[in-house]
Amino acid sequence: MFTMKYIDEGFYYKVYDLDNGLVFKKIQTYFYSYKKVFKHCRERSHMDFLSSIKMALKVVPREHKALEKMKDKLNTLPGNIFGDPVLYLFNNLIIH
């Protein structure tokens, strides 16, 4: 039986333990990322409400574009450089 145990989450991913020495990083939706960045700006950076919204609206699309570019570059490099990852982006298998 295949099980995934939730470990933690960040601005863009939720991380699960696959019980085989590997982890699965599942990318989150834009809304989830906006919410996390906005909350961080409000609580930790002490930004005002509008500045926090502007920051989230600027940062999240830029990071998702960077992930798309990274996907293309990872396919050209040997997997052992990164510990032979299985990488999913937007729920699609990219490299294995």
Q: Tell me the per-residue pLDDT of 5-22, one tens digit each, with 9 for 90 and over.
A: 898 888 888 888 877 777
CA distances from 23 to 13, 15, 27, 73, 96 (A): 12, 7, 13, 21, 13
* Percentage of the chain lying above the pLDDT 70 cut: 75
Q: Which amino acid is at 51?
A: S
Q: Mapping DSSP to helix (H, G, I), strand (E, B) and coil, where does residue 60 land? A: helix
Q: Which tokens is 67 given?
A: 């992930």
Structure tokens at 19: 């019980």
Q: How far apart are alpha carbons 96 and 86 in whole angstroms?
A: 4
Per-residue pLDDT, 83 = 59
pLDDT computed for residue 19 by the predictor = 78
**Domain limits for position 83:** 5-95
pTM of this prediction? 0.59
Query: How many distinct structural domains can be found in the chain?
Result: 1
pLDDT of res. 59 = 87
